[in-house]
Amino acid sequence: MTKTVADVMTRDPITATRETPLTDVIKILAERRISSLPVVEGGKLVGIISETDLMWRESGVTPPPYIMLLDSVIYLENPARYEREIHKALGQTVGEVMSDRHVITITPDKPLREAAQIMHERTVNSLPVLDSTGRVIGILTRGDIVRAMAAEQS
């Protein structure tokens, strides 16, 4: 029998809201040894906060290259990207630093093989699992898949 996402996902995952302080998220990720949390509003997925999003705090922000011509600054890259990076680096809440575009999700009925393929191709460490109404009902991590593989070996 083919395993599905529902067979191995972590049910009722820890979630955050846009208002959750980043200090709380950092503590949860470190203590639970997880790499991301779904961000929800009314049970519905609105984004994801990951270790990558938090790296801005420590790595700093590099200003875009520019040249000075007379008394004008001419940016060689889009300065809007720099402004977004600064906002992330200085953010204090999940809503200020989370990724909210193109969050890759999966449904519980999908084959585990398909989920593994998506995670590999998109280089993501976890997939929020949504029911038919868009509510977060679980999360599937690379660790969940590896544990399922190990269980099949024994």
Q: Work out how many domains the chain is built from and give that number.
A: 1
The residue among 26, 33, 30 whose CA lies nearest residue 53 is: 26
Secondary structure element (H or E) that encloses residue 138, with its range: strand 136-141
Instruction: Provide, rounded to the nearest whole percent, the portion of the chain with pLDDT above 70.
Output: 82
- The confidence score (pLDDT) of residue 67 equals 72
Mean pLDDT of the chain: 85
Neighbours of 30 (CB within 10 A): 10
Cβ atoms of 76 and 65 within 8 Å: the answer is: yes
Q: Which domain, by its residues, includes 82?
A: 5-153
Prediction pTM value: 0.76
Burial class (CB in 10 A: 0-12, 13-18, 19+), 106: buried
Kindly report the CATH number assigned to the domain that includes residue 54: 3.10.580.10
List, in sequence order, every beta strand (DSSP E) within 36-111: 36-41, 44-50, 66-69, 72-75
| 14-68 pLDDT per residue, tens | 999 999 998 999 899 999 988 899 999 998 999 999 888 777 656 555 556 667 7
Range with the largest mean pLDDT of 56-60, 72-76, 133-137: 133-137
